[in-house]
Amino acid sequence: MRHRTLKIILREILALSFILSAAAKLVGADSFELYIFSFELFSLGASFIFARLVICMELILGLWLMLNTHPKASAISALSVLGGFSVFLMVLMLSGNRDSCHCFGEFVDLSPGQSLIKNGVIIALTLASMGE
């Protein structure tokens, strides 16, 4: 019983981290859009759309985790998203970029290295919340 309760608590913390990240990005959406645009991969309009897609994806994933309708699939999705974000952060670090990654919008200022550590903790939470 304690083991199951711990997994539920870990899953809820994981869900809240995605929901809070989405909410923080949404509040400072203009800044997040410009951050994406700064990489010169998309036009300003496409950066606007991409920023909204990231925000929606994080919110949906957080809600999916919280509702626990498909626990394995949502955990695998969380690991995939965190893995993708971590690869992006490693590329930033290797290129010498030390600017805030905007992981939690303008509310929390994390360098790519700090954000990688945060992702490692969240990945550990995800793995601990999985299983029977």
Q: The domain containing residue 63 runs over which residues?
A: 2-129
CB burial of 93-120 (b: ≥16 within 10 Å; e: otherwise) equals beeeeeebbbbbbeebebbbebbbebbe
Share of the chain above pLDDT 70, in %: 98
> What's the chain's average pLDDT?
93
- The candidate with the shortest Cα–Cα distance to 127, out of 82, 66, 64, 60, is 82
What confidence score (pLDDT) does residue 132 get? 57
What confidence score (pLDDT) does residue 131 get? 64
Number of domains in the chain: 1
SS3 104: strand
> pLDDT tens digit string along 50-73?
999 999 999 999 999 999 988 889
